[in-house]
Amino acid sequence: MHPIVKFVAQRILLGLVLLFAASIMIFAGTQILPGDVAQSILGQSATEQALANLRAELGLNDPLVTRYLDWLTAALQGDLGTALTNGQDIATSMGQRLGNTLFLAGWAALISIPLAITLGLIAVRYAGKWPDKLISAVTLTTVSIPEFLLGYIVMFYFAVQWRLFPSVSTVYDGMPLLDKLNAIALPVMVLVMVVLGHMMRMTRAAILNVMQSAYIETAELKGLRPFTIIRKHAFPNAIAPIVNVVMLNMAYLVVGVVVVEVVFVYPGMGQYLVDHVAKRDVPVVQACGLVFAAVYIGLNMLADVIAILANPRLRHPK
C-alpha cells in the first residue's frame, strides 16, 4: 500500500473514532444536566401523573445506553429528532440556521485567509523592521480582545456613531445578496479580526523556519529578489503548518461563532443553540453539539490529509 493511502486512511479512521467519542460525551453531558426535562416542558403546575406520562413518552425511563443507541442510530439516518419546545423537526430547523452560519463563516474566511497569508509574507520580508512589528502589534491586539467586547466596540462605532452598518444582523430567505452582505458586515469584521492574528503569526513563523534552509541560501546567491524567494521557494515548503492553522480557524468560524451571533442577534447555529439551552431543549442541544463536533473534526481531518498530500517525502517515497 502506498504510504499516502495508508496515512490518509489512518487519519479518516481516527476522525471517525473521535466523532464517536464526541457523540458519547455530548449525550452523557446533556443527561447529567440538573433539572427535569418533563417538568421544564409542562411547567411547575403539572401533576405527577402528567409528568410520568411525558417521561414515558419521551423514553426518559429507558436505560441510558438504550437511549444513546437509539439517538445515535437515528442521527446516522439523518433524523435528529423533534424539538421539545415547539414540536418542529430539528434537522429542518437546523438546515436554514446552518446555512446562515456557513454564509457568515464563508465570507469571514474569504477575507481573512488571503489577508493573513499576505500579511505573513510581508512580515517575513521585513522581519524585525517596523512593518513586521506593526503587523504583529495590531494582530496581537485584536486577538487579545474578547469577541463580545470587540463586537460591542465595532457596533458602537460603525453602527451607533457612524451609522455605516446595522447593529442587528438580520437575514432571511430571498434577501438580496448586497443586503445580506451589508447585514453581516459587522460580525464578519469581528470574526476576521479574531482569526487574523493566529493565521498571520503561523504563516510568519513557518516561513521564517524554512528561510533557514540551504536551498534558500542558494536562491539568494543566485540573486533572486527577496520577495520572490519567499513567495516561490519558502512559502510552498511551509504550506503544511499553514494549512493546519487555517483549518483550525475555519473550524472556529463555524463552531466558535456562538458569542458573535448572540451579540449581533444573527440567526445562525450559535443563536439557535443558545435559545434552546435556555429552554432546556435537550434534543436540540444534542443535535447542535453533534453537528459542531462533526464540522470541527472534519475540518481538522481535512487539514491532516492536505498536510500529508503536501509532504514530498510521502508523495515520492524512495
The number of beta carbons lying within 10 Å of the beta carbon of residue 162 is 9
**Residue 258 structural domain:** 91-281
**48 in any annotated domain:** no
Residue 114: Cβ within 10 Å count: 10
Residue 125 burial (C-beta neighbours within 10 Å; 0-12, 13-18, 19+): middle
- Is residue 282 within 8 A of residue 27, CB to CB? The reply is no
pLDDT in tens, 96-107: 899 999 999 999
> Quick check: 263 and 148 in contact, CB under 8 A?
yes
In a domain, 317, yes or no: no
**pLDDT(306) > 90:** no
pLDDT in tens, 213-257: 888 888 888 888 888 888 888 888 888 788 888 888 998 888 888
Residue labelled with grid coordinates 445506553: 65
Q: What is the DSSP track for 212-236?
A: TSHHHHHHHHTT--HHHHIIIIIHH
- At 311, is the pLDDT very low, low, confident or very high (cuts 50, 70, 90)? low
* 3-class DSSP state of 88: coil
Q: Give me 272's grid cell.
A: 439557535
Question: How far is it, in rounded angstroms, from Cα 255 to Cα 260?
Answer: 11
Contact (Cβ atoms closer than 8 angstroms) between residue 169 and residue 265? yes
Question: What cell was used for 80?
Answer: 435528529
Predicted local confidence at residue 315, as pLDDT: 60
Average pLDDT over residues 38-50: 75
Kindly state the cell numbers that stand for 231: 513567495
Looking at residue 69, its pLDDT comes to 92
pLDDT exceeding 90 applies to what percent of the chain? 49
Beta partners for residue 82, in sequence order: 89
What is the structure's pLDDT at 8? 84
The per-residue pLDDT for range 46-67, each reduced to its tens digit, is 788 887 887 787 777 788 899 8
The DSSP 8-state label assigned to residue 77 in this structure reads T
Residue 153 has pLDDT above 80, yes or no: yes
Residue with cell 481538522: 300
Calculate mean pLDDT across residues 188-203.
93
212, 238 contact by CB (below 8 A): no
Contacts of 110 (CB under 8 A, 6+ apart): none
CATH of the domain at 271: 1.10.3720.10
75 belongs to a structural domain: no
Q: Is residue 15 part of a domain?
A: no
Q: For residues 242 and 310, what is the distance between their CA atoms, to the nearest angstrom?
A: 11
Reported as a single tens digit per residue, the pLDDT across 154-169 is 999 999 999 999 999 9
Position 161 in a domain: yes
| Domain count within the chain | 1
Q: What is the mean pLDDT of the chain?
A: 88
Q: Please, are residues 52 and 255 in contact by the beta-carbon 8 Å criterion? A: no
**pTM for this prediction:** 0.87
**Residue 18, in any domain of the structure:** no
Q: Considering the domain boundaries, does residue 302 fall inside one? A: no
Q: Decide if 208 is inside a domain.
A: yes
Average pLDDT over residues 20-46: 81
Say how far residue 179 (Cα) sits from the centre of its chain.
Answer: 24
